[in-house]
Amino acid sequence: MKILVLGAGATGGYFGGRLAQAAHLGKADIDVTFLVRPKRAEILRARGLNVESPQGSFGIPVQTVVHTELKPVHDLVLLSCKAYDLESSILSIYPGMRPDTYVLPLLNGLAHFDRLDAEFGAARVLGGCCHIAGNLTPEGLVRQMSDLQRITFGVRPQNNAGARAVLDKLNAAYQATPVNINYADDVLQDIWEKYVLLASLAGMTCLMRGAVGDIAAAEGGPALMRRMLDECVTAARHAGKAPRPQALDITTTTLTQPGSTFTASMLRDLESGGRTEAAHVVGDMLARARAAGDDATMLQAAWVHLQARDARLKREGAA
């Protein structure tokens, strides 16, 4: 199976890199190629892909292409872009796709599915998400920042008959890696459970400009965190995907843990002056909560905060 991985940063570099490592060691019958920008291609061609991980660090030579070199030979595209790069990513992968190529998105949230379905057809857009804390260093090293690393994938109800066979092959390939795999029977349930956690975490840590433990230590902080979580759960319930009891217990504990330094990557992007996935995560969850009949006060406050920050950056940049 030929797999095209869009990007070789924290997400694509890790989850695609583990597949490439398995192929390099002869443990998986797959062919992995990374679609990257020219500068990243130069680094990868000169130094290989280097990953620092608690599950075992490695460096291997990898196949790379830039957009102009793509050919329609791939069976599966692993889409690991940020939501704000979705449109450019769609244009980038087009030359590498056949009419029967599948797309497995690992983006946060849910809004991207409508866009990908419209572009490629829901029959070929698989269900997926991932959990990892990582970054790409200026030297080009993919660094995993905690033990957490899990990929979730599964067949969506709209997928065609060939989807299962492709995911079976992907699952077999990941079995030869240290990656934690969740080959889900109801992948949308798992995606919603991650989305509830992420939107609550991003909304509150960005709004309060602090980690989970900082919010937990503040008078009234835990109550506001639970209110944010309730709004996200309402949206999930309206979609028929209310978090399962065990998942909700884990999420609640994670979001209210005293002393926790856990933050959303969105907060790190916010504080560094970078672009964020605010509209895709917080803004979209707000719309879903309101559609469910919730006033979603906490989500609205977080969304206004994030928009105001962008407006200020634009104003000061133009001044």
Q: pLDDT exceeding 70 applies to what percent of the chain?
A: 99
Cα–Cα distance between 12 and 3 in angstroms, integer? 12
Average pLDDT across the chain, whole number:
96
AA letter at 101: T
Buried b (16+ CB within 10 A) or exposed e, 203-228: bbbbbbebbbbbbbeeeebbebbbeb
Q: pLDDT exceeding 90 applies to what percent of the chain?
A: 95
pLDDT, tens only, 65-118 = 999 999 999 999 999 999 999 999 999 999 999 999 999 999 999 999 999 999
- Set out the domains of the chain in order of their start, with CATH numbers: 2-185 (3.40.50.720), 189-318 (1.10.1040.10)
AA letter at 186: D
Residue 318: band (very low, low, confident or very high) from pLDDT cuts 50, 70, 90: low
Q: Are 204 and 298 in contact (CB under 8 A)?
A: yes
Give a three-class secondary structure readout of 239-251.
CCCCCCHHHHHHH
Instruction: State both tokens at 255.
Output: 């979001």
pLDDT of residue 50: 97
Query: What's the whole-number mean pLDDT along residues 228-256?
Result: 98
Whether pLDDT at 319 is above 80 = no
Which of 31-35, 87-91, 257-261, 311-315 has the lowest average pLDDT? 311-315
Whether pLDDT at 271 is above 90 = yes
pLDDT, tens only, 23-54 = 999 999 999 999 999 999 999 999 999 999 99
pLDDT of residue 99: 96
181 Cβ contact list (under 8 Å, min separation 6)? 150, 151, 171, 174, 175
Half-sphere exposure of 9 (CA within 13 A, CB side): 15
Half-sphere exposure of 163 (CA within 13 A, CB side): 20
Strand partners, 59: 50
CB count within 10 Å of CB 65 equals 16
Rg of the chain on CA atoms, in Å? 20
Residue 317: band (very low, low, confident or very high) from pLDDT cuts 50, 70, 90: confident
Torsion sign (Cα): 244, 246, 250, 253: positive
pTM for this model (two decimals): 0.95
Instruction: State both tokens at 33.
Output: 């190629």
Phi (first) and psi of residue 37, to 5 degrees: -75, 160
**Residue with tokens 């200026």, as numbered in its chain:** 138
Instruction: State both tokens at 39.
Output: 């500068």
